[in-house]
């Protein structure tokens, strides 16, 4: 969950520190989480970003989930469990500051440290997001790769950014 909270906030900046984010983008993603014992879990799906703070992750493999945020709340819909979890984002996270402080490490690679954690952000030749890597609170190495990236102008319709679920799903507020 903290991985998704970080990424939700990551996309709240439209453009800073040489990293270019448009009014919206859509992409495929693959996420690899490697624990300290080198056990690997792989996820894949699609992601949408819009309006500076709205983010929707559509996990397709290995299980079907949706994660949506508006920058203030995160909603996780687990279709296999028929369960919805809603969380308020309590701890402030100043991504604008983080990205502005990011420094080029190598061509197309930026690094920054925030709250004692280092983040590595890779961009393509046009400054578009390619990948994000960091270590989470459990010392898992997390790497997210983006492909079929489509940057666009204008915001995506609100309904495309919301998590939808049947009324019979259990809802948990945290």
The domain segmentation of the chain, as residue ranges, is 2-150
Give me the phi and psi of 67, to 5 degrees please: -130, 120
Question: Rounded to 5 degrees, what are φ and ψ at 114?
Answer: -145, 130
Q: What confidence score (pLDDT) does residue 96 get?
A: 44
pLDDT in tens, 68-86: 988 778 899 999 999 999 9
Q: What is the pLDDT of residues 73-132, one digit of tens each?
A: 889 999 999 999 999 876 534 444 555 677 899 988 999 887 778 889 888 888 888 888
Q: How confident is the model at residue 50 (pLDDT cuts 50, 70, 90)?
A: confident
At 117 the pLDDT is 80
pTM over 0.85: no
pLDDT of residue 10: 46
User: Which residues make beta-bridge pairs with 48?
Assistant: 26, 56
Say which CATH topology domain 2-150 has. Answer: outer membrane lipoprotein receptor (LolB), chain A (2.50.20)
């Amino acid at each position: 969950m903290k991985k998704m909270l970080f990424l939700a906030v990551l996309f709240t900046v439209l453009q800073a520190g040489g990293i270019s984010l448009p009014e919206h983008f859509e992409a495929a993603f693959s996420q690899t989480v490697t624990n300290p014992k080198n056990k690997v879990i792989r996820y894949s799906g699609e992601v949408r970003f819009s309006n500076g703070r709205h983010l929707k992750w559509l996990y397709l493999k290995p299980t079907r989930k949706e994660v949506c945020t508006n920058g203030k709340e995160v909603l996780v819909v687990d279709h296999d469990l028929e369960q919805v979890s809603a969380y308020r984002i309590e701890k402030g996270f100043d991504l604008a500051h983080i990205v502005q402080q990011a420094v080029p490490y190598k061509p197309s690679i930026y690094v920054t440290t925030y709250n004692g954690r280092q983040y590595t952000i890779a961009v393509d030749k046009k400054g578009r997001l390619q990948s994000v890597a960091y270590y989470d609170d459990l010392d898992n190495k997390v790497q997210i790769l983006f492909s079929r990236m489509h940057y666009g102008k204008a915001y995506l319709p609100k309904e495309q950014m919301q998590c939808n679920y049947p009324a019979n799903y259990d809802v948990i507020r945290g």
